[in-house]
Amino acid sequence: MSRSAAQTLQALIANPLSLENVKSLATADVTYVSLSENNPKLQGYLPWTGSHRGPEAIVKAFEGINKTWETKAFEVRDVIEQADKVAMFGSFTYVSRGLGKEITSLFSLFAKIKDGKVSYVQFLEDTFGTSGSVRPEKN
């Protein structure tokens, strides 16, 4: 029984820290775009942002996220699926491990599925809010 595009993406984000899981659900050349395609200043705060390739890049990104924040809540509110494309929308609440700042942000995920595996995934959130939770406020 094959999975729908939405089920495939949901299975990937359910356990993005497991390389075995990610490899089973993503193509070997999967492209992962986090927050921007290329923003060196943002990468100074959030090193996993930008465009990356391969299942290992997805795991590395979520390892960085997990080291930086504790996830308190993650809620998918809506899913739109169209053939081999899927978009998910929702919210999450993180607490930064270094500063203890809590942030609740909306997010969107967009993915393309090829031969039953994720070949492209793009993640967007409130970049201003999340990056602000990991840097001290200026007086």
* pLDDT tens by residue, the chain, 139 residues: 689 999 999 999 999 999 999 999 999 999 999 887 887 887 777 788 889 999 999 999 889 888 888 888 889 999 999 999 999 999 998 888 888 888 898 999 999 999 999 999 999 987 766 666 766 766 5
> Does residue 138 belong to any structural domain of this protein?
no
> Does residue 69 belong to any structural domain of this protein?
yes
> Does residue 110 belong to any structural domain of this protein?
yes
Tokens 């996220």 map to which residue? 65
C-alpha to C-alpha distance for 103 and 134, rounded to whole angstroms: 10
| Secondary structure (3-state) at 7 | helix
> Does residue 78 belong to any structural domain of this protein?
yes
Residue numbers of the domain that contains 88 = 5-132
How many domains does one find in the chain? 1
Q: Which CATH number do you get for residue 54? A: 3.10.450.50
Query: Taking the model in full, what pTM does it have?
Result: 0.85
> Does residue 137 belong to any structural domain of this protein?
no
Are the beta carbons of 13 and 109 closer than 8 angstroms?
Answer: yes
